[in-house]
Amino acid sequence: MNIKILGPGCKKCKKLEENTKKALGELGLEATIEKVENMEKIMAYGIMSTPALVVDEQVKFSGKIPSVKELKKYLQ
Q: Which residues are catalytic?
A: 10, 13
Q: What is the 3-state secondary structure of 16-63?
A: HHHHHHHHHHHHCCCCEEEEECCHHHHHHCCCCCCCEEEECCEEEEEC
Q: For strand 58-62 and strand 2-6, is the pairing parallel, antiparallel, or unpaired?
A: unpaired
